[in-house]
Structure 1
Amino acid sequence: MIYTVFEDLDVITRSVKVKNCSDEDIILTRVLSACVDFDRIDMDMVTLHGSWAREFHVKRRKVELGKQAVSSYRGETSHQANPFLALMDRNATEDFGEVYGFNLVYSGNFLAQVEGCQFDTTRVVMGINPFDFGWKLEPQEEFVAPEVVTVYSNEGIGKMSRTFHDLYRNHLIRGEYKNKRRPVLINSWEAAYFDFDTDKLLRLAREASKLGIEMLVMDDGWFGKRNSDNCSLGDWVVNEEKLKRGLKYLVDEVNKLGMKFGIWFEPEMVSPDSDLYRAHPDWCIHIDGREGTLCRNQYVLDLSRKEVRDYVYESVSNILRSANIEYVKWDMNRQLSDVGNCVLPPDRQREIWHRYVLGVYELMDRLTTEFPHILLENCSGGGGRFDPGMLYFSPQIWLSDDTDAIERLKIQHGASYVYPVSTMGAHISDCPNHIVGRITPFETRGLVALSGTFGYELDVTKISQEDKDMIPKQIEMYKKYNNLILSGDLYRIGNPFENIEFVCVEYVSKDKNEVLVIYVQILNRPNYHSRRIRLKGLEKDAFYRNEETDEVFSGSALMNGGILIKGLEGDFRGKLFHFVRV
């Protein structure tokens, strides 16, 4: 057993190391990282569920006799369940009660299980999912299981979340952007999908640069013969029919506008219609003699094999070396299936699941080592691989492919149970929204995206002048408040899974000198004049000035009397309040 205790946080991590001290080979079939027993059963269990485009939905239920679990055997942590669970008092709330949180630092198959036992006790186990798992240990070899982070809170779910946030911001996330403001980017995906060329991207960049946007990200469609999602993954060669005069010319022209340049890859995948697959069909994960299962018109490359990893790395790094690229979006758009290969012997085939994850980690480590100044953003069709293992290599992860502001209120709320908002990729997109068709005010979309990395996912050459005029103001707002949002304590006020009327989040600086409140009215109410919002986490004897009105209130008044939200007509309206200590 390996334990780590954090002196400044209510956190203990635990993992397991197994060593074969015998003279014979052994096969591990189950290696969980944590087992914690509670001498009670009268608790609730909270987990985070979902699907593509609706990740991180909060589910709370009573612990019952028998086993209750969330898990993944998709080869990634998955959209459907996050490797997190919490146990808490039955009467625990956002701000009161005892809560125990558990989170696995791993990016593959996992099991998080609670069992109510016959003597009214409760057992929690967490670790690599035993499903189809195996690991052969020869004499004197070791296997080290991933860590489980355990967090204790005596002040409800909120303090549990703030502890997770402080731990990951200060002890897990690394690199140049750990504590640095992320550049405001515009991504080409919802602006153009596959339909772009050099001229179109430069028109987008020129207009974006005038508005204060700092980076252009070229998403899927720039390589091979990629004009749809049915070909060319694995052929990481610039399509010069689209990018006339080459990639470096495009990047240089964008740089001349004072903007950075970013690019999209999906390094773990291969299309059947690709030069790579035609040359090396055995390089994808497959079972010999069985027809492979396609998903999104692609197979998964076998990153358990060194020669495959080396090819992938050189293909990606050659592109990065060819121009001044300062951001990479690393995507993964399908799960693993037909897990096998033609290299490992039969008694090691079940190692592929775990070896694949280790291979992904190795590639990301090589990438961040050779290109330490690149901002790496992970993605898996949105939040399909949003976990602490990925955060070790990338300070941010695309939270969901659903960019609708109202859906994002739920997704960001659930994700914030565990993960700091500085890790959540969040963009302002066009309306009607491309996923749900909803129309929301441009201003509200900006307020919602503040609780994340903040960027744009639309064609600024086609939006209305009114919306366009709002972009410089939104960017100014982001820059003004980003440090507080990046490093402050998060307090949730209002739960979108319990009410459909409003959501409110509050950020308080560590020294309690600055407070930001973001309120979004989801559905308006008839015959109501205002809504009272009571703030949290302030110094009760300190005084705070409302920056907009110059009114001064004591911390006690703001926490007990609150502030009145009024004057918001219609649905999907938002308002921001900023208080500074006087």
Structure 2
Amino acid sequence: GFSLVYSGNFEATMEVTPHNLLRILMGINSFDVYWNLRENEEFVTPEVVLTYSEQGMTKLSQNIHELIKRNLIKPDWQNKERPVLLNNWEATSFAFNERKLLKMARRAKKLGIELFVLDDGWFGKRDDDTRSLGDWYPNRRKLPSGIKGLCEKINRLGLSFGIWVEPEMVNPDSDLFRAHPDWVISHPDYKPSLGRNQLVLDLSNPVVREYLFEVLTELFESANITYCKWDMNRNFSDVFSPYLDALDQGGLYHRYYLGLYQLMESLTARFPEILFEACASGGNRFDLGMLYYMPQIWTSDNTDGYERVKIQYGTSLCYPQSVMGAHVSNIPNMQTLRHTQLETRFNIASFGLLGYELDITRLTPYERKVIKKQIAFYKKHRQTLQFGRLVRIKNPFLENDAALMVISPDGSEAVLGIFQCLENPNAPLEKIRVRELSNDNEYLITNRTQYFNLGMFGDLVKHALPIDMNQHGILFHILKNHYLMPVEKEAQQEYGAVLNQNGFIPKQRFIGTGYNQNVRLMCDFGSRLYTFTLKEEQEA
């Protein structure tokens, strides 16, 4: 397996020679790139990571995961537990004020959330994505107390405070662009094309980098900011730098990223206590180069619960769950309009760095109770979930199900997640091929207590309740918004050697009739989490 420690344009080629030898070349993309190397200058190419395993793809991935966790992530952030956060973006978009944010923060604290993140829309005259990008001063109409005042109020609630920025970009309708139109990447002979109504700042220009360092330093020093989501929402076009001379234009792509790395090096050295999370319209810049400066990356703007199973499974081929931002969002999902169970949205997000991105001021009592229990579970098993050894068991790209497992470094605990796409009637007995548990340890296996909302059953609820109830009636409406209907309970004891050899057999799935507490009802896009803990620890 190969991976490039670089964030810019790259190419990877594979060639089999006439002598049946495989040659692999990986590095900077050669298209339209040239570099004028002056006397006594040196050119350093990006590094490539190589790993090999005779034990399959999971072991190959684990090798790269360990490299990232031990050698690429900076020491201050290695094995440092990440906070459970609330991001306001999908709840409010640009339409918020200080009162709304504080209301969300108060509810977040009650649920057990630890970090409040203010996303796009807090600066300049930013009421939509057409203006003010680059004007990094607070919008006093929305935030009369400014960032400092808002942060202090949120800190007093018992939450840490984080903020969103997109420093590499600028809107033409901004004070920054009006003052410095020559600071953007654009060709003087053509009208520049926009992406998300914005242009790319020329980070090959040291003056631009110095400005960004100063304005971001002022922002980060203005309040007790402990987290920064660093976004980048468009690709390159009109690739020309007003700063560079003709001989250096062919190196603009690479010089841009050298400039970005220099800026991030300066900022992370100045603010080592800030947790930076990289983002690029989701995971479009998910690479080892960014991870050196920012120890976690937003995996995808697609937050649909089932889509995330595939997204995070695929991302795990190279990257550990300790670097994947993963949020529970609302339904219907913004990207797919799909209704996925709240418990599934959490279960897949727990195989990453957990956050919530929904309007928690509008949750039902049922949802508040469930989310509070979810967060408590995540905190209890956070060290294993974030930093455990990841084992892929079932591939959602090939099957109707997926299965992932994380195992603590000492083998004393493991968490297994199983995820189903569509429900099948009369499903066969299921056997999960767990592996890498400690052979000599005896494990107690239990499932995380999850809950159904009665509303999902409609008129079928009459088969589960002792009284006949109209699904459209007021009594049923009250009941579904308050009652937590628990799933089946699982409790097994088995040695690791037996589980590694024979697999784990959960309770029989629902086959279309005869539901009770010993039957596992999954439904479309359903899921379960199981914990494997040492028997002697449970007894103690």
**Bin for the TM-score computed over the shorter chain:** 0.7 to 0.9
Query: Are the counterparts in 1 of residues 11 and 27 from structure 2 also a CA contact under 8 Å?
Result: yes
Query: Which runs of 5 or more residues in structure 1 are unaligned?
Result: 1-100
Q: Secondary structure at the match of 2:24?
A: strand
2:416 to 506, 517, 540: 517
**Structure 2 unaligned residues grouped into runs of 5+:** 448-489, 509-519, 536-540
The one-letter code matched in structure 2 to 1:183 is P
CA contact (8 A) 1:102 1:150 kept: yes
Residue 408 of structure 1 aligns with an amino acid whose one-letter code is R
- Matches of 2:146 and 2:411 in 1, distance apart? 51
Which residue number in structure 1 is paired with residue 124 of structure 2? 224
Partner SS, residue 493 of structure 1: strand
Provide the TM-score with structure 1 as the length reference: 0.81
Aligned to 1:571: 524
Find out whether 1:486 has 2:386 as its counterpart.
yes
Q: Choose from 428, 440, 445 the match for 2:328.
A: 428
Residue 464 (structure 1) aligned with residue 364 (structure 2): yes
Could you tell me which of 389, 399, 402 is aligned with 1:503?
402
Q: Residue 534 in 1 paired to residue 487 in 2? A: no
Structure 2 match to 1:95: none
- In structure 1, the partner of 2:480 is none
Equivalent residues of 2:278, 2:297 under 8 A apart: yes
Offset from partner CA, 1:45-97 (integer Å, 9 cap, x none): xxxxxxxxxxxxxxxxxxxxxxxxxxxxxxxxxxxxxxxxxxxxxxxxxxxxx
Which range moves more in the overlay, 503-512 or 319-328?
A: 503-512
TM-score of the superposed pair, with normalisation by structure 2: 0.87
Contact residue 105 and residue 146 of structure 1 kept, 8 A: yes
After superposition, give the CA deviation of every residue in 1:90-140 in whole Å (9 maximum; x if it has no partner). xxxxxxxxxxx0000000010011123334332211000111112111222
Q: 3-state SS of the aligned residue for 1:135?
A: coil
Question: How far has the Cα of 1:547 moved from its partner?
Answer: 4.2
User: 1: distance between equivalents of 2:150 and 2:168?
Assistant: 26
Q: 2:342 aligns with which of 442, 448, 452?
A: 442
**Counterpart for residue 376 of structure 2:** 476
AA partner of residue 551 (structure 1): Q
Query: Aligned to 1:451, which of 348, 351, 354?
Result: 351
1:557 is aligned with what amino acid?
V
SS in 2 for 1:247: helix
Aligned partners of 1:327 and 1:237: how far apart in 2?
Answer: 18
* Shift of residue 175, structure 1, vs aligned partner: 4.8
Q: Which residue of structure 2 lines up, in the alignment, with residue 324 of structure 1?
A: 224
- Give the equivalent residue in structure 2 for 1:159: 59
Q: In 2, Cα distance between the equivalents of 1:197 and 1:449?
A: 28
Structure with the larger strand share: 1
**Partner residue in 2 for 1:18:** none
**AA of the residue aligned to 2:273:** H
Output the aligned Cα RMSD: 1.3
CA distance in 2, matches of 1:202, 1:346: 52
Kindly provide the amino acid, as one letter, of the partner of residue 399 in structure 1. Answer: T
The superposition leaves residues 253-291 of structure 1 with CA deviations (integer Å, 9 ceiling, x where unpaired) of 101100011110000001000111111111001112221
Q: Relative to 1, partners in 2 of residues 1:540 and 1:245: Cα closer, same or farther, differing over 3 Å?
A: closer
2:236 paired residue among 314, 319, 336: 336
Percent identity, aligned pairs only? Answer: 48
Contact 1:175 1:372 in 2 (8 A): no
Q: 2:92 pairs with 192, 198, 210, which one?
A: 192
CA contact (8 A) 2:392 2:405 kept: yes
Q: Distance in 1 between matches of 2:387 and 2:125?
A: 43
Contact 1:288 1:341 survives alignment (8 Å): no
Return the offset for 1:551: 2.8
| 1:377-424, Cα deviation, whole Å (9 max, x unpaired) | 000000010000000011100000000110001110111000010000
Q: 2:445 aligns with which of 528, 537, 546?
A: 546
Counterpart CA distance in 1 for 2:437 and 2:103 is 47
CA–CA distance in structure 2, aligned partners of residues 252 and 328 of structure 1: 17
Aligned mate of 1:402, from 283, 297, 302: 302
